[in-house]
Amino acid sequence: MIEEIVFEEEQKNYRNSFLLEDYSYDKEIYNKLVSTADDLSLEIMREIIRINKEKIVRQTALEKSFIISAKVNSNYYTGSFVSVRGIDNLHKGYLISYQENDSLKFINSNFFDTIIISIIFLMITIILLTLIFSNNNRLRFLAHNDQLTEVSNRHHLNFILEKEYERKQRYNSTFSLIIFDIDHFKKINDNYGHYAGDNILKEISSLIQKNIRENDYFGRWGGEEFVIIAAEIKLESAYKLAEKLRKVVENYNFIEKANITASFGVAEIDSAENIDDLIKRADDALYRAKRNGRNRVEIDS
């Protein structure tokens, strides 16, 4: 397909393009296309051109090589338009070829299968990542929290005690430690069962959390024993907090017709002691509360 015919005597050898007014076909080549049965039929080529009409008009205006494709009668075809240039390097026309393209047929026939497989793979990947992140979050939670009550565990409480102790050393601040446990908890398990005992541990954890300050730390020390780290609180204020919590526990109805109480031991950090010393003093105060009749608060000064 050429854009212009230089010699008038050659014009009879060409016929105008049915698609592009500025281009002409070589009659001899055109007649061969019509008569040859082995190659693509003229009807198929016309259909390929019709489907790609807008693209052909747009691309030929640029006078550059390009490729078109089309699906005709369930088969896929490509057309190559190769720009032909003269000795003056100016565009003169196009060398055009059409061929059936099995690779396009394969791609299109498997397109939806590929999309479905990709979506399934993406969903599986998302599910696996979600499970991994969920498990990591759960493991991170269990590393710091008690599995039954979901409050801080002993490991995390020790970490907080160290941080508070460092803050006291650096800024000369203070904090108090409250240790309490549930009175006669073994009898509760014996009389009402371990399921009821576990429920009491969870309920008392929730109850205490609702009745302490936001900057206080609360957790399960072990068994039926719990700890409150009261930041920036002196002994007198810590005693008042413990007494308030004792009354809250005493007045709460954990089990019908069962009087559930707790005993408390309180100590304030001393400038000359370490964390172990503080824990021992608070623990000693707790045992004094038990020896003195339970359901009471004792302080270690």
- Which residues form the catalytic set? 224
SS3 call for 119 = helix
Closest CA to 77 of 51, 54, 53, 55: 51
Distance CA 264, CA 268 (A): 14
Distance CA 266, CA 282 (A): 5
DSSP state of 2: B
What number of other Cβ atoms are within 10 A of residue 234's Cβ?
A: 13
Given the structure tokens 């003056």, which residue do they identify? 88
Give the ranges where 93-171 is alpha helix by DSSP (H). 102-109, 111-144, 154-171
DSSP state of 12: G
Phi and psi at residue 267, to the nearest 5°: -150, 145
Residue-by-residue DSSP string for 242-284: HHHHHHHHHHS-SBTTB---EEEEEEE--TT--HHHHHHHHHH
